[in-house]
A and B are shown apart, each in its own frame.
Chain A
C-alpha cells in the first residue's frame, strides 16, 4: 500500500513538474506547480514528518502559489498564451538538463549509502520545539533568529519595492 502510494506520488510529481515548465498557459503552470507541491507534502507524510508536511502545505501550497497566482492575475490576461520557445533555447535547456541529470544519477548510483544503526528518533512537536529553540549541541536558535530578521527585512522591502512612488507616477 505504502509502496504503491509512493510510486503514485512520484508519478504525480514528475508528470506535473514537466507539465508546469512546458505548458503555454501561465495559469495552468501555476496550478501544475500546486500539484507538485502537494505531492511533495504527501511524500513528507509518508516519511513520518507530519510537521514538515503541514508546513509545506500551508507555506508553499497555501502561500507561495496563491502569491504567484495573484501576480499572474495582476500582470497577464487569463487567456494569454506564450509563444513557443526558440529552438536553440529549447535544445540547450534539454541538453543541459539531460547531461546534468545523467551526471548526478551516475554519481548517486555509484555511491554506497550507509544507514545509521541508531534507533529512530520520534519526531513529535516537543523534540522539534526543543531543538529549534535550543542552544546546546543540536540547537537551532541562531538560524531561527536569523530567519526571523530575514523575514522582517523581506516584508519591509517587498512593501517598499511594490509601493507606488511619486517619481514613478510622473514617468
Chain B
C-alpha cells in the first residue's frame, strides 16, 4: 500500500471513472465510442479489485487474478465487438446506432 493515502481516495477515483463510462455509454451514438466507454467501466472495476487486494487482503492474490481474468475477457470482448462493428459497417455503411435498427438481412 502507499503510505499516507487512504483506500477511499482510490475508490473515489474508480467510482468517478465508472460513472463517466456509464455516462459516455448513454450519451454516445457511435458503436466504437460506446465500446470505449465499456473499456473505461471495466478498467475502473479493475482498479477496485487491485486496491481491495492490496489494502484489505495483502496476504492473498485473489483481486490480482480477478483483474488478470477481466483483462483477458475484455480483450476477447473487444476483438469480437470490432469484428461485428466492421461487419455492420460493411452492410449499412455506418456505425451510428440509430442507422442500424434492423436485425434482418
Which residues of A are interface residues toward B (Cβ below 8 A)?
A: 2-3, 6, 10, 13-14, 17-18, 20-22, 26, 29-30, 33, 36-37, 40, 43-44, 46-49, 52, 55-56, 59-60, 63-64, 67-68, 70-72, 74-75, 82, 85, 89-90, 92-94, 96-98, 100-101, 104-105, 108-109, 113-116, 118-121, 123, 127-128, 131-132, 138, 140, 143, 147, 150-151, 154-155, 157-159, 161-162, 164, 168, 171
How many A-B pairs with Cβ below 8 Å? 227
Supply 13 further A-B pairs (C-beta < 8 A) apart from A10-B9, A21-B23, A143-B65.
A3-B4, A17-B20, A17-B40, A20-B24, A20-B36, A21-B33, A49-B50, A75-B89, A85-B27, A147-B72, A158-B82, A161-B83, A161-B87
Tell me how far the C-beta of B42 lies from the nearest C-beta in chain A, rounded to whole angstroms.
Answer: 9
Given contacts A10-B9, A37-B43, contact A158 B30 (CB under 8 A): no
**Chain B residues with CB under 8 A of A131:** 61, 65
Residues of A within 8 A of B50 (CB): 43-44, 47, 49, 52
Contacts of B24 in A (CB 8 A): 20-22, 93
- Checking B80, B89, B91 against A157 with a beta-carbon cut-off of 8 angstroms, the contacting residue is B80
Instruction: Say whether, besides A6-B2, A67-B82, A74-B86, A108 and B73 are in contact (CB < 8 Å).
Output: no
**Interface size band for B:** 35 or more
The minimal Cβ–Cβ distance linking A167 to chain B, given in whole angstroms, is 8
Q: Report the bound CA distance from A36 to B23 in whole Å.
A: 16
A-B contact pairs, 23 of them (CB 8 A): A2-B2, A2-B4, A18-B20, A20-B36, A21-B33, A36-B17, A36-B40, A47-B51, A49-B64, A52-B50, A55-B71, A63-B75, A68-B82, A71-B32, A131-B65, A132-B68, A147-B69, A150-B76, A154-B77, A157-B80, A157-B83, A164-B90, A168-B91
Q: Which residue, of B15, B16, B23, has the highest number of chain A Cβ atoms within 10 A?
A: B23
